[in-house]
Amino acid sequence: MAEASGGENTSSPSATTSTDSSDQAASGDSLKEKPTCILCLGMAGSGKTTFVQRLTAHLYAKKETPYVVNLDPAVKEVPYPANIDIRDSVNYKEVMKQYKLGPNGGIVTSLNLFATRFDQVMSFLDKKQSNEFKFAIFDTPGQIEVFTWSASGAIITEALASSFATVVVYIIDTARSTNPVTFMSNMLYACSILYKTKLPFVVVLNKTDIVDHNFAVEWMQDFEVFEEALSQDTTYMSSLTRSMSLVLDEFYQNLRTVGVSSMTGAGFEEFLKAVDNAVVEFETQYKPEYERLKKEKEEKAKKDREDQLKKVQQDLGKGEAVAMETIKTGAQAIESAHATPFHISLGADLDSDDDDERGDEEEWDEEEIKEHESFKRFLEKEKQKGQHAKKEESG
């Protein structure tokens, strides 16, 4: 994706102009703010895809084009225009067939395969500016555990949070949460996701066109009202739910809760305000903490490398010093010979070679004399044998 960039380029030797240019650069950096990432999570049937569709339509109506990413490989159709769709990269049915998996296993494997290419998604988002795309919306798979408790879900969430302001949106089916036990199950799951992701959190009570969400807000704000609703149920689950509600009292205090209707579009302005507040929280609390943890991790990795290097040096011990000498060429040797204060005779080596050759000749002459004498004795013996044979023949 190509992006156009422009701006005035002026230069002047004066200090005032350089100050103005630095101010322009600072303002340019502020214009290049990256989009806010919204991760939509929720139980199956809570209305995540419908919520994303209504949020996308609402932003289009406000002339704020969103950047939408579909992470559900098993969905047949999406009711919104997706900029990036996992189905274009991974064939869900082929994954099930090739790896012999069931529906949930196929979704997990498809998401894992897509996570291996998520750096490309990051590069696309990194090129976008907030004046072009203010929000990047991510629609996750219907099975919430596939994304929240899988390695690929953690990789995607941490990758986004490392580069962009990221907000987790947990969508609850309000109509089904009228039961206190079901409501508490949703809240426990929301609490677990909050502490796992460690990111700004917004709870969306969806389907308010069916049931108003004020009862849930009242349950979170007043324990006695929630206990009164539980009093009608005398089972063991109700007593456990009552104990859990006391534990989650602190969790409720700082929780952002918004009621919306994905069918009518009610409550989406309040939702966007809650997201803006969550972005401020991300910049002021989560990002500094992330930078601190990142710095600590880098320092620990650097210290570990230094410790390993010291350990290797200790294992090898202290070696002996080795003189490093270079081989000189003939011309360099002659120059160094003339430069040295000691007198070196270059003809001595030649004379010594001649002496060696003379010594070899003398040794060779002695051997020849010995061979000559032995050969002479052999000839005399043969001569005597011949004379003796002739005498016997004549006699």
In a domain, 195, yes or no: yes
In a domain, 164, yes or no: yes
- How confident is the model at residue 37, as a pLDDT? 96
In a domain, 277, yes or no: yes
- How confident is the model at residue 248, as a pLDDT? 85
In a domain, 253, yes or no: yes
In a domain, 354, yes or no: no
Q: How far apart are alpha carbons 96 and 109 in whole angstroms?
A: 9
CB-count burial class (<10 Å; 0-12, 13-18, 19+) for 251: middle
**CATH label of the domain that carries residue 99:** 3.40.50.300
Per-residue pLDDT tens, the chain, 395 aa: give them: 433 333 333 333 333 334 444 444 443 343 347 899 999 999 999 999 999 999 999 999 999 999 999 999 999 999 999 999 999 999 999 999 999 999 999 999 999 999 999 999 999 998 877 678 899 999 999 888 889 889 999 999 999 999 999 999 999 999 999 999 899 999 999 999 999 999 999 999 999 999 999 999 999 988 889 888 888 877 778 888 888 888 888 888 889 999 999 999 999 999 999 999 999 999 999 888 888 888 898 999 999 999 998 888 887 876 666 666 665 555 555 555 555 444 444 444 444 444 554 555 455 567 777 777 877 888 888 888 877 777 777 76
In a domain, 375, yes or no: no
pTM of the model: 0.69
Residue 369 forms beta bridges with which residues?
A: none
Structural domain total, the chain: 1
In a domain, 266, yes or no: yes
What is the CA 13 to chain-centroid distance, rounded? 43
Q: How far apart are alpha carbons 218 and 209 in whole angstroms?
A: 18
Determine the structural domain holding residue 120 and report its residue range.
36-293
In a domain, 349, yes or no: no
